[in-house]
Structure 1
Amino acid sequence: MTVAQLRSPPLASPPAIPDLLALARNPSSEARERLLLGVIALCDARPPSGELSPVLTEIFLTLAKQAEREVRKVLSQRLAQADWAPPALINVLALDEIEIARPVLAASPLLQDDDLLRVLVEATLEHQIEIARRPNLGGRVADAIIDRGEPATVTALAFNRTAEISLEGLRRLVEQSRRVAALRGPLTRHPRMTEQLAAQMYQWVGAALRQSICDRFQVDETKLAPLIEQSVYDARSGTLVAIPANDPDRDEMERRLVTKLQASGQLRAGYLVRAIRERRLGLFVYALAALGGFSVAHIREALAARSPEALFYACAAAGVDRAVYPALLTEIRLLNDGLPGDAGAPVWTRGSISATSAARSFRALVEG
């Protein structure tokens, strides 16, 4: 069934429930399309009662569990804001692949805190980010997101001005901003930010954000100057208390996430770009190794090389377009102390290369 077919004109009037039930039990593709159109007609008509009959609930669940991807996607879009839909169906859609789950995660009034907490535990990083962006997110869920400390998810939460973040939760986000630079901007502008927390964060943000803090709060820069100097000294002398770059727990979490994404067919070349833009170099390493069939040690060797050639071949083998590589390389160097270096000619300007040839070239460089 194609997307064009799914956008067929709605029925003139909702069909009878017995007719829909008969279609739900018919496995043919034609019956599936007619069933979908019938369900959409019911969605458009909005049942006046807040409760659905058990028969209609069975129809929805049958459709969601047996229908193909495009059918489930349309259902999620149509039911995203419906307060009369079967809660069991909404929970099924919320745990589906992210393009299907996104509408209900973002808007469904039927998803309770316990439902969202379950998705945080069982679903992908993309699901977690969508929950963090959810309007009027409850305090229990916000606390759970902060507890997990996933950089991309806590950053999305910091941008969510309507989430119920307690003062203690905000304090913990400020503390996490020591290691998660992406948190700093949204926290500086957060409506619940206090002058005390802003003064604390002032010590490790850049000049632009310091000015933003000064413009919003009455921060005495002369009093903070000695603290900033001490922070710089501690960082240079290695005494700053922080989560180490090579955190075994984080490494294991990222490895498991990549394994899960690959097993579900959701790990693609675009994920590499996303990982770097989210400043998650470790996740990039594991994802690139998995996509290219390389060892993690060889990917790290390529990241530390004098030339970006080996890294280019690894990215090309994983499906990254050569036109994207220069910008990706720039962002990687910002996260990796300027490495890989710039020795040698830019091989990505020589023309296209197949994934097989790129993989062979990568192995020749790192194994030779």
Structure 2
Amino acid sequence: MSAVAQLRSPSPAREPALDLIDLARSKAPDDRRRLLLGVVALCEAAPPNTALAPALAEIFLTLAAQAERDIRRLLSERLAAADWAPPALINMLALDEIEIAAPVIAASPLLQDADLIRILLETTLEHQIAVARRPHLSHGVVEAIVDQADPVTMTALASNRTADISDAAMRRLIEHSRRIAGLRAPLTRHPRLNADLAHDLYQWVGQALRQSIGERFKIDDARLNAAVREAAAKAVHSPTWRPLQPAGRNADRERQEMEKRLVDKLQAAGQLRPGILIRALREQRLSLFEQALVQLGGFTPAQVRSAIHSSTAEPLYLACTAVGLDRAVFANVLSEVRKLTDGRPGGGAWSATPMNSRSAARAFRQIMERTAIV
């Protein structure tokens, strides 16, 4: 009540503020809705000063947490472009269901790069697509999307004409377009495509897209084909030439390298959190789960692989607890891991004893030492 009272003023806004105080006394759902939207209207008319910001955040977070789904959706629409809204509230809405999150993801000036990367890591594919479509997306967020290498999200990014896509990121997208046909058309139209990159893209698009590229850049088919043949001939006769690995093996290695780069970037930015483990399993990306667990816990890859393929779930439980994963979600984590590993770790007896992260890390390393896994 005291927080609401701080919004009073001797101006003509006094009567609406008093009405809000009356609504705050009511527990009726309709009055809760009127109160929340009334506070928004009051702030739109006279954006609060710095002194009121903590009280305003408290009011919004409390009311939004109690609000029904349609009210949260309306609130997201009203606050999407507001620069005075509490950042904590905007982040809460951005992590909500996609129908609620979409307006703030698309337009809120309060979402920083770290917030957008968190959305990429901890939410659904629909949220990730919304981030990729956000106008004027920064270079850092673009890199995070390309590192994740999700075909649908990268296609949404390629269609974002205002995103800050560097030449290096554009080259990586073009390389992905060799296997992801949906990337090719938006890349041919992207304003960041230059002549050098257009030559690379031109090699594996269809005739219609070749014509589109040719309208923007002067591409000499005969010269390009001759250059490709010459490069292939030089490669075959080079002393370092080796036959290509099977496609599946190359794809696996490429995916593991991309996932390691993603984890390293998140760690360097201070954005690597246990939530990535849940998301990796939800997306059936066991390699990303392993890489993140290695980095979060300071474990070796061999130790994490040993825990995953153990005859009992205890080592994996200890490793997950050591990095701060909630004990309550471990049963789901274990179930998802087993789906990806033919039932490993095994179903042997293990003790889900409550312990803090430090104790769990110590116990995990003791098990690894006993089995000589380093």
Larger radius of gyration: 2
Partner of 1:256: 282
- Identity level (%): 56
Partner of 2:202: 202
C-alpha change, 1:220 and 1:51, in structure 2 (3 Å) is farther
Native 8 Å contact 1:20 1:59 kept in 2: no
Partner of 1:190: 190
How many correspondences in the alignment?
246
Native 8 Å contact 1:17 1:56 kept in 2: no
The residue correspondences of 1:93-242 to structure 2 (distance < 5 A) are 93-226=93-226
Partner of 2:41: 41
Q: Distance in 2 between matches of 1:172 and 1:117?
A: 19
Give the C-alpha shift of residue 27 in structure 1.
3.3
**Secondary structure at 2:158's aligned position in 1?**
helix
**Secondary structure at 2:131's aligned position in 1?**
helix
Runs of 4+ in 1 over 6 A off after TM superposition: 227-231, 244-250, 252-255
C-alpha change, 1:243 and 1:101, in structure 2 (3 Å) is farther
Deviates more, 1:140-149 or 1:240-249: 240-249
Native 8 Å contact 2:129 2:152 kept in 1: yes
Partner of 1:56: 56
Give the C-alpha shift of residue 28 in structure 1.
2.4
Give the C-alpha shift of residue 66 in structure 1.
1.1
RMSD value over aligned CA atoms? 3.6
Give the C-alpha shift of residue 227 in structure 1.
6.5
Give the C-alpha shift of residue 230 in structure 1.
10
Superposed CA offset, 1:246-267 (max 9, x none): 96979x9897249xxxxxxxxx
C-alpha change, 1:30 and 1:196, in structure 2 (3 Å) is closer
Native 8 Å contact 1:95 1:123 kept in 2: yes
Partner of 1:89: 89
Superposed CA offset, 1:80-122 (max 9, x none): 0000000000000000000000000000000000110111100
Instruction: Please list every run of 5 or more consecutive structure 1 residues that lacks an aligned counterpart in the other structure.
Output: 1-11, 232-237, 259-295, 297-368
Native 8 Å contact 2:198 2:213 kept in 1: yes
C-alpha change, 1:74 and 1:222, in structure 2 (3 Å) is same
Native 8 Å contact 1:142 1:165 kept in 2: yes
Q: Distance in 1 between matches of 2:246 and 2:228?
A: 15
C-alpha change, 1:18 and 1:199, in structure 2 (3 Å) is same
Equivalent AA in structure 2 for residue 165 of structure 1: I
TM-score by length of 2: 0.57
Equivalent AA in structure 2 for residue 77 of structure 1: E
Superposed CA offset, 1:327-352 (max 9, x none): xxxxxxxxxxxxxxxxxxxxxxxxxx
Instruction: Please list every run of 5 or more consecutive structure 2 residues that lacks an aligned counterpart in the other structure.
Output: 1-11, 232-242, 257-276, 285-338, 340-374
Give the C-alpha shift of residue 180 in structure 1.
1.0
